[in-house]
Structure formats: C-alpha cells, structure tokens
Amino acid sequence: MAEIIFNIAGIIALLALAMAFFRMIIGPTSVDRIVALDNMTIASVSLIVFFAVYLGRIIYVDVALVYALISFIGIIAIARYFERGL
Amino acid sequence: MMFLGAIMTLLGAIFLFLGALGLIRMPDVYNRMQAGTKATTLGAMLFLLGVAIYNQEFSLWGKVILLILFIIFTNPIASHALARAAYKIKIPMTEKTVKDELAQDTYYFQDEEK
C-alpha cells in the first residue's frame, strides 16, 4: 500500500515537471520562460531524490545537491543579464 | 513509518502540481511567479522530508536536510531577482491591475535620469 502511494506521488511530480515545461515552450516573454525553468529545477531536484530512493542508489542525492547549487547561480546570472548589469 | 512517509510524499507532489497549474493558468509574469515559487517551495520541502521518512535509512537525512535548507534560502532570492529584472525591463502587467505603487517610487528609475 505504501509503495503504491509512493509511486503515485512520483507520477504526479513528473506531471508537474511536464506542465512547467509546457509553460517554458509557450511563454510569451523571456522572463516567463526563466520562471518556468526555475520551477522545473525544483521539481527535478525532488524527482532526483525520489529516483535515488526508488532505484536504491543513495549516491544520486549528491547530484541533486550540486544541481540545486548550479541552478541558483544560473538564475541569478540570468536576472542580472536581463537588467543589463552583466 | 513507511506509510507516513508515502503520505507526506504524496502531499508534496500535489503541492508541486498545484504550483505548475498556477504557472499555466495565471495571466501575468508577476502572478505566475507568485503562484509558482511559494507552492513549489512548500511542495519540495514536504516531498524531500517524505522521501527521507519513507527510506528508513539514516544516511539520507543529512543530505536531505541540507537540501531543504538550501531550497528555503535560495528560492525566494532567485524569485526576487527575477521579479526585479522583469519590472525593470518593463514587462506589462495584466489589465486587471488596480494599483502600481512601485511606479511612484523614484528609486527604481534613478539611473535612467542620469
């Protein structure tokens, strides 16, 4: 029973990732796309930890940690670029 | 204990899904940012805690707590920087906007007058 609920949670998180990707494709302005990319990053970090437990390989959590760091620096750099400060 | 972790993971996934739904349905950049960031932060916290409870292994807790702290600290900062950039490059608001108090603030337009 617990495993079924856990798998359904993974599927719902994957659906959220797909919806944010849809907004990243159709977004009218460029800031829309970057906001959708930020949301996709958080959903991806959650999904990487989910798959680390699902596949039984705890070492994948380190990938999520590094990915969160790199994406934060990337978002800040893109925001500076939009303000013409870079 | 596994059941509690699975329920928390499901709640976090539902919050992630609602954040993405707000990202699609909201009419404006600022509304999308407001709907997306807060729901996604809470959803990621619940999701990661639920996965750590579900796993029943002690080695996962340190990294997951580090990841949650990192998400709490950095996600509002990134959202704030993006909102400031979007206002500065004059992306239009939706027609239903009632009041724009930042337009009367002269601080944001200082470097244009020079």
Domain segments of chain B: what residues?
A: 2-113
DSSP secondary structure letters along B31-78: HHHHHHHHHHHHHHHHHHHHHHHHH--TTHHHHHHHHHHHHHHHHHHH
Residue B77 is predicted with a pLDDT of 92
pLDDT digits (tens, 9 = 90+) for A12-71: 999 999 999 999 999 788 899 999 999 999 999 999 999 999 998 889 999 999 999 999
Helices B29-55, A2-26: crossing angle, 10 deg rounding: 160
Contact of B39 with chain A, judged by CB distance below 8 Å, is answered with no
Q: Is the pLDDT of residue B46 over 50?
A: yes
Give the pLDDT band of residue B42 (cuts 50, 70, 90).
Answer: very high
CB-CB neighbors (< 8 A) of B91 in chain A? 29, 31
Cβ neighbors of A63 (< 8 A, separation 6 or more) are: A48
**Minimal-distance CA residue of chain B relative to A53:** B55
Using CA atoms, how far residue B57 sits from A38, B22, B52, in Å, is: 30, 35, 8
Range of the domain at A59: 2-82
Whether the Cβ atoms of residue A13 and residue B13 lie closer than 8 Å to each other: yes
Write out the two tokens for B72. 């709490």
| DSSP string covering B68-113 | HHHHHHHHHHHHHHHHHHHHHTTPPPPTT----GGGG-GGGGHHHH
Residues of chain B neighbouring A6 (CB-CB closer than 8 A): 5-6, 9-10, 54
ipTM of the complex: 0.90
